[in-house]
Amino acid sequence: MRILAAMSGGVDSAVAAARAVEAGHDVVGVHLALSRAGGTLRTGSRGCCTIEDAMDARRAADRLGIPFYVWDFSERFRDDVVEDFVAEYRAGRTPNPCMRCNERIKFAALLERALELGFDAVCTGHYATVVDGPDGRELHRASDAAKDQSYVLGVLTADQLAHTYFPLGATPSKALVRAEAEERGLAVAHKPDSHDICFIPDGDTRGWLAERVGAERGDIVDRTGAVVGSHEGAHAFTVGQRRGLQLGVPAPDGRPRFVLEVRPVSNTVVVGPKEALATAEIAGGRYSWAGRAPVAGEFSCDVQIRAHADPVPAVAVLDEQGVTVRPRHPFDGVAPGQTAVLYDGTRVIGQFTVDRTVPAVPAGV
């Protein structure tokens, strides 16, 4: 096949490209420039897509003997990922920018251009597997549960899965990937993994959002509506948060309180006891299926609500309003804007964005 290898400058994408070459494919490497700040530098494991990452990707491509290009996707990234992130927080929701990047950049904009240029598939260093099932291609979890990235790939559609290639999915551990990189003479063999939000490399999400959303003083209230503190901007809080609340009025029982709800219209943050985070039902209208779509009606599945959360057995209902999920035991703090990924064993069924949540413990109980 003609393979376009997306090379981030990290060890995973470099080894994935190397395996594609070794498998006999015609491989071309490409690094996505996602920021117009050309002088952006990397600090340890913070950030990605920096100028150093582009240089590391080029060195890896040279080592593999494949052509290499840098494509400027910064405008598309700003509009589809960064601005979406700001808009979601402004609306009091909790977005996942990595999922938006996979959905709209790596497996939409990049894949579209790759197909236009005659490539058969896009190769990345994600830890997930694609297999040919009885009804077409299926997305499954990786062999290494600790590195499994099927959750953030849950936004892929059947058409996109037909043109994706994940060479690392069956690798038992990340340590083996690093050892392989060293054996191949790839300079990124021991490069730290990136973490945090790539376009906020200093990790100060609260400060970054304050500059774009604005900081406006508001009330922190308990479930009865009584004011128990104040804040400098509701955007700085997310459901389940405990630290940084700085409450002026302690709970009657002396127990810690957690963020239960963010109300952007009134600029209010609602707090309460941990048990009030229990969520009995989630629902959303924006969904997609990673391969075979389920038949409308009720079906059993496992549901994962965060990248590193444990899957929870649940019953899902698909109808004209969207998807509703009722877990067999309550979720622990789900915020509107989060993504729920549905599984059948190791297979990803699909995903939806959470628009509505129903608490397991009503206020006043």
Active-site residue list: 101, 198
Residues with Cβ within 8 Å of residue 182, at least 6 apart in sequence: 189, 190
Collapsing DSSP to helix, strand or coil, 33 comes out as: strand
Is the distance from CB of 25 to CB of 119 less than 8 angstroms? Answer: no
Is the distance from CB of 89 to CB of 48 less than 8 angstroms? Answer: no
Picking from 188, 80, 201, 102, the residue whose alpha carbon sits closest to that of residue 149 is 102
Amino acid identity, position 223: R
Collapsing DSSP to helix, strand or coil, 138 comes out as: strand
**What is the residue whose two structure tokens read 């950049």?**
105
What is the distance between the terminal CA atoms of the chain, rounded to a whole angstrom? Answer: 60
Q: State the Cα–Cα distance between residues 152 and 351, nearest whole angstrom.
A: 10
Picking from 133, 137, 126, the residue whose alpha carbon sits closest to that of residue 160 is 137
Residues with Cβ within 8 Å of residue 25, at least 6 apart in sequence: 1, 2, 3
Q: CA 231 → CA 70, 235, 238, distances in Å?
A: 43, 10, 13
Picking from 291, 2, 3, 12, the residue whose alpha carbon sits closest to that of residue 123 is 3
**β-strand 258-263 against 331-332: which pairing, if any?**
unpaired
Is the distance from CB of 316 to CB of 342 less than 8 angstroms? Answer: yes
Q: State the Cα–Cα distance between residues 171 and 167, nearest whole angstrom.
A: 8
Q: State the Cα–Cα distance between residues 86 and 213, nearest whole angstrom.
A: 7
